[in-house]
A and B are shown apart, each in its own frame.
Chain A
């Protein structure tokens, strides 16, 4: 069943703790800062919340209650969600499902994380590979960049232009990990990591927290929330990798998941005003805007250069700064995307505002691979 055919679901409140490098501050303080901000934004009190989902990846077992008890021990169901980079997106999806199904009227979806040791289950399968531990995410995306450049004649500068745009957006975002504009020469001349990818084309993985309050239409009326600040979630799609032959599985997975989400929402790619996507590495944005149907195959670099994906362009892509500049603390990232899209669709994004934004999507890929896409629709303004 499509989300749109179930009970209407809205984002009523958003809150963030700034993303930043690892500090000595315990995760609890990061998390409750974001939740209190989201409650204040919605005009709700903690006892109004009937359930909580927390995306986290490196904090260990049972993250939620040691944090959320400081808001008051109300006894609500609390669930930890781990889905690699898409953990926060999964927490949000589960909150949406719980509200849409009528189980609850007000549910918290949040993410909180801090850098720490991580072990990927894929390394425990007992199956060998030809490259062992040498292939890590930035290696894989450097390979994809090489393949993309060879196929479409794109240059390293074309790929680096993604980072230039997203650093420019992040510089205007008070919650961003990286808040400095960068020139093309700075991005291209930064420390090389793999292939043509430099450090500034790879996302910073630090700490942070993000929270959103998901509510039913009934709750909007019952709790006296401001409908003009409630953003409807019109689709939630999640898929996992199939067999795509030699094609980029991230792009193919993005293609089919985004198509499913947009179809469920009844929206054409051309109607999307704001996109927050998984730009952990610069090359991903070029591949994903094509896979999403925002432009044709091989056209992304040219359209980026023409300003079509800038704030004020045809589709604002990663107005938050994306993973490249806002950052990728992992657990919170997908929830932070929803917060940014909500802010944009309310018209409250200040100097990052995409003019007239009505429809937005939030897209994450997680190793495995999984992909999650949500479509949000702003209130009439």
Chain B
């Protein structure tokens, strides 16, 4: 038997002996230690709460998604309305170039600033007619 084979055959013997010694030391614990181990186990088991199945996750996820969509729609909607009804600077400029006058033009701040001039002009026109 060479050295390596001897090593292989010897190894289980002392390991078995070590396991036996460890088993004995675990088996022959004193009563106080066993009592404390028992208490530790009971404490751990007292905290045992089986986790309920998370059936609420799907409805909660759907509700969250719906809220997010609603919020996104609400935020996006006013911009679209403003784009539809608002007068763009381009369209105002085009109207001014073409000389069109409408209610919007009459209601402009410049009209009110020159209101006295328009009143005088109106009086002059009436005087000329009369």
> Does B associate with A?
no
